[in-house]
Amino acid sequence: MSERDLNNTVTPNPKLAIDYCGIKMKNPIIAASGTFGNGPEYAGYLDLSNEVGAISVKGLTLKGRHGNPGPRIAETPSGVLNCIGLENPGAEYFVEYILPDLKKYDVPLLVNVSAGSVVEFAWMAETLSVDGIAGIEVNVSCPNVECEGMAFGVDPKVVEDVTKAVRKVTNKPVIVKLSPNVTDIVEIAKAVEAGGGDGVSLINTLLGMAIDIHRRKPLLGNIYGGLSGPAVKPVALRMVHQVYKAVNIPIIGLGGIMSGTDAIEFMMAGASAVQVGTATMVDPEAIRYIGRQMAGYVEQYNLESINDIVGAVHQ
Ligand SMILES: Cc1cc2nc3c(=O)[nH]c(=O)nc-3n(C[C@H](O)[C@H](O)[C@H](O)COP(=O)(O)O)c2cc1C
């Protein structure tokens, strides 16, 4: 029987508490955007107020989107390819109809925003800078309509412009979520810092493809999709480590975290907090088990706080 069956709520372990850019979390584990619905969908599996450090809601856009044609998900060895295409009801609908329900839980909320232009990013950030939102997570993996659809996140100048534009219109912490589909992740992270961003989260998915050899067709409706899960973890970990050495803003690390050990690796590489995505699709209670394993590590090494391991990997 789980602690939850006995008590209905779970007592958070104070040694796992963190402060990320002024956002107070009961543990460092954030539910990753797009893999946790808007949160309440998981209330039957997790005590959202005590077991989840924060929730990054499904990516929002200016207008609602139906997303890409199916199939939208394909399993790969050690990972998942997805091409959801940012299906969502739009920012204003979110504020009016979804946020009130989410505010019932005592858990910080990050709004994950995507846009087609710098101006649209600013509009999104302003519209979503409302009571009940703890921070803005800016998804720069989406295509820039002003640059022939090239992702914002591949050009440091554009990333700096987006960060500045968002920074100008909000007092909430601005966290820019980086795309791994770049040659030099460090220069992109530096651009966020130069633009006044409070933090970076990395990584989003790696662009990939799968083929159905019998139909001789791509497996995904959108041909290409984003790869996530354990397959991307070493790439993500390397990028977190490189970025940690190069910038002074705090990092949220993600990509393939399936266990407490994985999460601790990310924190040792330099992440102040972590996000869990694909693991939740395998087990909706993954965040609980990852948290428990992290607490076990803190006990095992007699640490005062999980914060003590941030960047603690020896060279
Ligand atoms: C089905 C699915 C939907 C996603 N939707 C979004 C999204 O809306 N916005 C975003 O920034 N990232 C999105 N992501 C990326 C995840 O938040 C995360 O960056 C990525 O999956 C790597 O972490 P993981 O290996 O723990 O899943 C999505 C990922 C998946 C698998």
Query: What tens digit of pLDDT does each residue of 28-44 get?
Result: 999 999 999 999 999 99
Does residue 8 carry a pLDDT above 80? no
The pLDDT of residue 20 is: 98
Indicate the pLDDT class of residue 3, thresholds 50, 70 and 90: very low
Strand ranges in the chain using DSSP code E only, listed in sequence order: 18-20, 23-25, 29-31, 54-56, 73-76, 79-82, 109-113, 135-139, 174-177, 199-202, 206-209, 211-212, 217-218, 224-228, 251-253, 271-276
Instruction: Return the CA Rg of the chain.
Output: 18
The pLDDT of residue 142 is: 84
Query: What tens digit of pLDDT does each residue of 274-302 get?
Result: 999 999 999 999 999 999 999 999 999 99
Lowest mean pLDDT among 5-9, 10-14, 259-263: 5-9
Does residue 9 carry a pLDDT above 90? no
The pLDDT of residue 147 is: 78
Which backbone phi and psi does 226 adopt, to 5 degrees?
Answer: -95, 130
58 CA closest ligand 1 atom index: 8
Q: Residues enclosing ligand 1, CB less than 6 A?
A: 32-35, 58-59, 80, 82, 84, 86, 112, 139, 177, 204-205, 228-229, 232, 254-257, 276-279
Q: Whose CA is nearest to atom 6 of ligand 1?
A: 34
Active site residues: 142
The pLDDT of residue 129 is: 98
Indicate the pLDDT class of residue 1, thresholds 50, 70 and 90: very low
205 CA closest ligand 1 atom index: 20
Q: Whose CA is nearest to atom 5 of ligand 1?
A: 34
Q: From the CB of residue 64, how many other CB atoms can be counted at a distance below 10 Å?
A: 15
Spatial CB neighbours of 302, under 8 Å, sequence gap ≥ 6:
none
Pocket test for ligand 1, best of 33, 86, 136, 141 (most atoms within 8 A of CB): 33
The pLDDT of residue 146 is: 80
Cα-to-centroid distance, 205 and ligand 1 (Å): 6
Percentage of the chain exceeding pLDDT 70: 97
Cα-to-centroid distance, 220 and ligand 1 (Å): 16
Q: What angle do CA 69, 258, 218 make, to 5 degrees?
A: 25
Query: What tens digit of pLDDT does each residue of 39-74 get?
Result: 999 999 999 999 999 999 999 999 999 999 999 999
The pLDDT of residue 2 is: 45
Identify the sign of the CA torsion 114, 123, 32, 42: negative
* Alpha-carbon gap, residue 80 to 44, rounded angstroms: 24
236 CA closest ligand 1 atom index: 22
Pocket test for ligand 1, best of 68, 275, 278, 281 (most atoms within 8 A of CB): 278
Closest CA to 113 of 136, 83, 84, 141: 136
Cα-to-centroid distance, 232 and ligand 1 (Å): 12
> Average pLDDT in the 264-273 region?
98
> Average pLDDT in the 245-260 region?
98
Cα-to-centroid distance, 190 and ligand 1 (Å): 23
Cβ atoms of 302 and 273 closer than 8 Å: no
Does residue 218 carry a pLDDT above 80? yes
> Average pLDDT in the 199-221 region?
96
141 CA closest ligand 1 atom index: 11
Query: What tens digit of pLDDT does each residue of 71-109 get?
Result: 999 999 999 999 999 999 999 999 999 999 999 999 999
Map out the domains of the chain with their CATH numbers: 3-67+86-207+229-309 (3.20.20.70)
Cα-to-centroid distance, 302 and ligand 1 (Å): 34
33 CA closest ligand 1 atom index: 17
Mean pLDDT across the chain, nearest whole number? Answer: 95
> Average pLDDT in the 263-267 region?
98
The pLDDT of residue 6 is: 47
> Average pLDDT in the 182-198 region?
98
Indicate the pLDDT class of residue 144, thresholds 50, 70 and 90: confident
The pLDDT of residue 7 is: 52
Cα-to-centroid distance, 277 and ligand 1 (Å): 6
The pLDDT of residue 109 is: 98
Spatial CB neighbours of 81, under 8 Å, sequence gap ≥ 6:
73, 74, 75, 208, 209, 210, 219, 220, 225, 226, 227
Q: What angle do CA 24, 239, 141 make, to 5 degrees?
A: 80
Q: Whose CA is nearest to atom 26 of ligand 1?
A: 277
Closest CA to 62 of 83, 93, 31, 98: 93
Pocket test for ligand 1, best of 29, 30, 35, 207 (most atoms within 8 A of CB): 35
At 214, the amino acid letter reads H
For the record, the structure tokens of 95 come out as: 């504020």
